[in-house]
Amino acid sequence: MVPDVLYPLRLRVDWQKDIRLRRVSAMPKVILVAHFRQVLISAEGVGQSTMDGRSGKRQIFITIFTGKWRESKREKSGKNLEIKQKMKINKEQLQVYAVTDRKSVNNKRYATLIDAVEAAIKGGATIVQLREKELSEDAFLAEAKEIKKLTQRYGVPLIINDNVALAKACQADGVHLGQGDMQVEEARAILGDAAIIGVSAHNVEEALLAEKQGADYLGSGSVFVTTTKQDVTALPLKTLREICHAVQIPVVAIGGVSAENIDQLVGCDVAGVAVVSAIFAQDEIETATKKLMAQVKDMLAKTETFDALYQKLMPLLQGKKGVLFDMDGTLIDSMPMWRTLDVEYIGRYGIHPDMEFHHQVATMTLIQAANFIKEQFDIPKTSEEIFNDFQNMVIEEYRNTIPLKPYARELVKWMKRDGYKVAVATANEIHLSEMVLERTGLMADVDTIVSCTMAGASKESPAVYELACANMRITPVECVIFEDSLRAMYTAKKAGFVTVAVYDDVAKDSWEEICRITDEQVVLE
């Protein structure tokens, strides 16, 4: 194996002999994915293409600055099979990792910790870690033996936190070790080859060392602020992702994970989550665990798609400090509401217009549509009243109904957690955007919201984008813009912004032209 990060490496590659090309960008910047002498290269660097004078074959000289080298598919599958054969625990067993906390348990609902653990297992907990900080050794051992009987009956592994000797005494399935605890090799010598040994890892170096020493899985965090450990800062999700990609053994996200934030782990490539209060502090432990399991499965299912999306965007984000999102059609799926607003309104009065009416109203503002409807139909309201009705309908939809586009939430949160400033620039009224962002839990991730009204110009001018950059205290060259409309793309490109086109059905007729002028294109589905 060649190291994951190369600084720099100069290669001379015979284009026809050495490489089975999969993807390469235009020169001189090279983003290369190819098979090179049985090694899969995924790299970014600077390249020059030349012709060999003697052979007449095309050659490429690449200086690689960053990248990943992986084994060819045949080699990788062989190694994965070898690893799988050695593994004492699989990813599925780590999906919902229940870590006990007797202080959190509702004693009126659950008479003993054993009762609480059984409820968690019935709810779908796939592995249990027994953690006790205050019990005497004898009391701890007695409890551990009883819980071992329970987990064995349900076919769920039991892990003991920190205490290797006690893990052996109660015949637990394994032990979890912190960075200040016993070394993996020592624990293995005591517990034997069959034991599951987990290790806490807070960075790539610790993760690689633990894997080398024989750890079976890693617990990495704290990924969120947690109440179980004081003075602990959150592990950046970017670091968690790097840990997961650096090792072959599964990784569990631990620390502050709850039903409210599990979705933020999309794209991290974790095997599951380790939770304490999200299970044991709940009044209905079995129900809470079932909900967690459903959320974990949803997070895992989304990860592959989101991972591909994020990898696609990474080259554009290099060296940038901020991202700017349009709202309607980009972050939120609001355009269907705008297309049917007029029809729905007059339908309340038993009026069903033809398509010609719809085409006429489609390009109108709300006040223009109100005036037009008053002129065309016998509705017992003034134009002003119709306009007010329209506004109330819109507010109701934004406040309660209009959804985010798929992966929009994950994308915004990832950008924020990766250290980018986040802005929203809308042609609509700001309060409508605020309603959606508050409802979907994204308001805290947005540094600034600006509107065309604030900028004094439509998106045919870059003024609204420049205002957002000014509020973020960055320059346009440090910002990537996400938009869905061709008009906005022309403006952004002309002003020197890097642009990402987000597909929306309303703009499908101009999608080909959008793809032609933008730096990257994504379809959120």
Q: What is the DSSP letter of 351?
A: -
The 3-state DSSP class for residue 88 equals coil
**230: confidence class by pLDDT, cuts 50, 70, 90:** low
Q: Has residue 481 got a pLDDT over 90?
A: yes
Residues 218, 243 contacting (CB under 8 angstroms): yes
Angle made by CA atoms 195, 199, 201, in degrees to the nearest 5: 160
The 3-state DSSP class for residue 522 equals strand
Q: Has residue 250 got a pLDDT over 90?
A: yes
pLDDT digits (tens, 9 = 90+) for 21-77: 333 344 344 444 343 333 334 444 444 444 444 444 444 444 443 444 333 333 444
Fold designation for 90-310: TIM Barrel (3.20.20)
Using a 10 angstrom Cβ sphere, with 0-12 exposed, 13-18 middle and 19 or more buried, the burial of residue 131 is middle
pLDDT digits (tens, 9 = 90+) for 343-400: 889 989 988 888 788 778 877 888 898 999 999 898 999 999 999 999 999 999 999 9
Q: Has residue 258 got a pLDDT over 60?
A: yes
Parse the chain into domains and list their residue ranges: 9-77, 90-310, 319-333+402-522, 338-395
Mean pLDDT, the chain, rounded, equals 84
For residues 26 and 226, what is the distance between their CA atoms, to the nearest angstrom?
46
Phi and psi for 230 in degrees, rounded to 5? -85, 155
In this prediction, residue 8 carries a pLDDT of: 38
Query: Regarding predicted confidence, which is higher, 363 or 317?
Result: 317
**133: confidence class by pLDDT, cuts 50, 70, 90:** confident
In this prediction, residue 159 carries a pLDDT of: 98
The pLDDT of 209-229, averaged and rounded, is 88
Look at residues 146, 96, 101, 94 and name the one whose alpha carbon lies nearest to residue 121: 96
In this prediction, residue 51 carries a pLDDT of: 42
In this prediction, residue 366 carries a pLDDT of: 87
pTM: 0.68
Q: Has residue 228 got a pLDDT over 70?
A: no
**482: confidence class by pLDDT, cuts 50, 70, 90:** very high
Share of the chain above pLDDT 90, in %: 65
The answer to whether the 90-310 and 319-333+402-522 domains have the same CATH topology is no
Pick the range with the lowest mean pLDDT from 222-231, 451-460, 506-515.
222-231
**Residues designated catalytic:** 131, 200, 229
SS3 content of the chain, % helix, strand, coil (to 5): 45, 20, 35
CATH of 319-333+402-522, one of 1.10.357.10, 3.40.50.1000, 3.40.1280.10, 1.10.1750.10: 3.40.50.1000
pLDDT digits (tens, 9 = 90+) for 81-110: 344 435 689 999 999 999 999 999 998 899
pLDDT digits (tens, 9 = 90+) for 152-172: 999 999 999 999 999 999 999
Strands 127-130 and 96-99: parallel
pLDDT digits (tens, 9 = 90+) for 432-446: 999 999 999 999 999
Q: Has residue 245 got a pLDDT over 60?
A: yes
